[in-house]
Amino acid sequence: MANLVEGLFLTVEGIFQSLFAVIQSFFNIIYSLVSGIISVVWNVLEGVAEFVGASVHFVISNIVIIGLILVGIVIYNDRNKRGTIGNDLKKKAQ
């Protein structure tokens, strides 16, 4: 009887270890993809910075500033557009 209980325990333990191994491998794949993407982006930024003769942080700050300016332009243009048909119908219904 003791061997039966021990065998069942080891079987359940093996199933849990297999499940945890699958989950761990899934997270390892995600980590390696994110790490690879960050490495590629950083190396590209280093190449651009070396070509321009500036630091990587300066290039990143310029990209952020240009992105914020573009977001502002998009928001400004969107606010000056006429409403869509759906908005016109809502106004007529009120």
- Note the pLDDT tens digit of each residue in 12-68: 999 999 999 999 999 999 999 999 999 999 999 899 888 888 888 888 899 999 999
Could you tell me if 49 and 59 are in contact, meaning their C-beta atoms sit under 8 angstroms apart? yes
Which pTM value belongs to this model?
0.56
Using the predicted structure, report yes or no on whether residue 91 has a pLDDT greater than 80.
Answer: no
Spatial CB neighbours of 49, under 8 Å, sequence gap ≥ 6: 55, 56, 58, 59
CA atoms 24, 29, 35, 38: torsion sign? negative
